[in-house]
Chains A and B, each alone.
Chain A
Amino acid sequence: MLAMNEALIRGSVQQHELTEAAEILNEQLRLEIAERLRAEEALHRAQGLLADRAVRLEEAVSARTLELTATNQQLEAFVYSIAHDLRAPLRAMQGFSTLLVAEAGAALSAQSQDYAARISKSAQFMDALLIDLLDFSRVSEQRVELTAVNLETVVASVLARLPHDLQGKPARVESSGPWPVVLAHEATLAQVLFNLVSNAVKFIRPDVSPVVRLRAEERMSGEGAMALDFGPSTPDRRVVRVWVEDNGSGIAPRHQEQIFRIFTRLNGDKYEGTGIGLAIVQKGVERMGGRVGVESVPGQGSRFWFELRPSPTS
């Protein structure tokens, strides 16, 4: 009996303890649920805030894009007006000075004829400047999308365009393949090559016939003296280096960096030119994610190069 009583009491104590434990557990659960609810609410708030921020960011980006597009259009309009409006008076200067000599040439002294010729020549030089400036701004401003471009095709088209610009100089241009496929913007690449080759045949003593060699080689970036950097995210560091080598007058080491700056002319009026050609080359190659450089010893010709990434499919 006693034992039974004891057992009963123990049982009720156990029950009591169990109930208490359950209540504590319940309370804990309630707290936890409340905590979770609070956390969830906070999360919702944060998400809402984030979404709001995202929307505002998107709005800011599209507003900025609109602004930039407007600025770009203004720039394009500006460049266009340079082409149209500034060149018109040049045509008049050139045309009327030509007419002056043609119609009154006999009545003009040799000196006066020379003055008229100088007006005409200056007008033509300024026209060349404006055309080169337009090319430079086109290379700087236009959208450059890189696609796989076959160098061989570009080299062939540049060489085909060249003879008209050599002004009767018996130049020899040798191109030796193989030509890899590179990542480039075709029109920009053609302009870069054209400028380099025109440059290569230009700066030469009058008694020497220009010889230009074109070739390409694949190499790892950073090989050789100049370090290259296509950004840390480029795991494949293979590059295609295109060489344009000439037998011209060469460039002193102290001038080798200068020549890529716009309006740099080392030879004054000795050679025709606007000093923009190599600036276009550098800007164009930069826009395509590459680098340019030159190796030269005065009197022994120059070796210009530029590097582009090879097409991943090649």
Chain B
Amino acid sequence: MNEPQTFLLVDDSVDNLFLMRAAFKMAKCHHPLQEVHDGEEAIAYLNGEGPYGDRKIFPLPTVMLLDLNMPKKGGFEVLEWVRAQPVLKRLTVIILTASTRREDVAQSFDLGANSVLVKPTSLATLAAMMRCLCAWVEISQFPPLIEAGGNEKHTQQVK
């Protein structure tokens, strides 16, 4: 396998997070998974704030899987914030939502999502989705999220 790529799962439902971990396991996708439970936590994680200060334990993710409908800050707000950050704006963000509304898909892309996936009902289908996603991550190139000459500190400054 290639080098490990961290996935950040953002979803307010612990059941969903549990099932996503199960789906990754069924998909034999063994990249490290991190999870947060709402938009505010997602921003804190990406900023390396509070409990997420140690990048050795909470590394910047290669891919963020972002739910839309969440308490506090929703997915759109997080996406908008990410795209406004000088360095984080390159982060690969995949919307994973229950919504099939065309407006939501359009807005996700307008705000700079890299892909929109609709949560399937069946766990087997979710596992198949995650298998595709992992295969895609493994053949893709990703931009560095820390600029040349930058370091952990630089990331910390990103506000």
Q: How far is the CA of A123 from the CA of B125 in the complex (A)?
A: 14
Of the stretches B38-46, B82-90, B115-123, B143-151, the one at the interface is: B115-123
Q: Mark A119-152, 1 if CB is under 8 A from B, else 0.
A: 0000110010000001000000000000000000
Given contacts A99-B123, A124-B122, A127-B121, contact A91 B16 (CB under 8 A): yes
Q: Are B122 and A94 in contact (CB under 8 A)?
A: yes
- Asked if residues B101 and A98 are in contact (CB atoms below 8 Å), the reply is no
Among residues of A, the one whose C-beta sits closest to the C-beta of B19 is: A95
| Additional A-B contacts beyond A84-B98, A88-B13, A91-B15 (11; CB < 8 A) | A80-B101, A87-B119, A91-B19, A91-B119, A95-B15, A95-B19, A95-B22, A95-B123, A95-B126, A96-B15, A99-B22
Query: B69: CB under 8 A from chain A?
Result: yes
7 closest Cβ contacts across the A-B interface? A95-B19, A95-B123, A127-B121, A92-B15, A98-B123, A84-B98, A94-B121
Interface residue? B100 (CB, 8 A): yes
Please tell me the number of chain A residues within 8 Å of chain B, measured between CB atoms: 18
Query: Which residues of B lie under 8 Å from residue A88 when comparing CB positions?
Result: 13, 15-16, 98
Complex: how many Å from CA A150 to CA B98?
A: 33
In the assembled complex, which residues on chain A have CB atoms less than 8 Å from the CB atom of B19?
91-92, 95-96, 99
Interface range for B: 10 to 19
Interface of chain A, main secondary structure:
helix
Q: Which of B61-100 contact A (CB under 8 A)?
A: 69, 98-100
The answer to whether B124 has its CB under 8 Å from any CB of chain A is: yes
Compute how far the CA of A130 lies from the CA of B15 in the bound complex, rounded to whole angstroms: 20
**Cβ-closest chain B residue relative to A131:** B100
Residues of chain A with a CB closer than 8 A to B119's CB: 87, 91
Per-residue CB proximity of A170-184 to B under 8 Å, as 1/0?
000000000000000
When distances are taken between beta carbons in the complex, the residues of chain A under 8 Å from B26 are 102
CA distance A87 to B124 in the complex (A): 16
Chain B CB within 10 A, most for which of A80, A91, A95, A96: A95
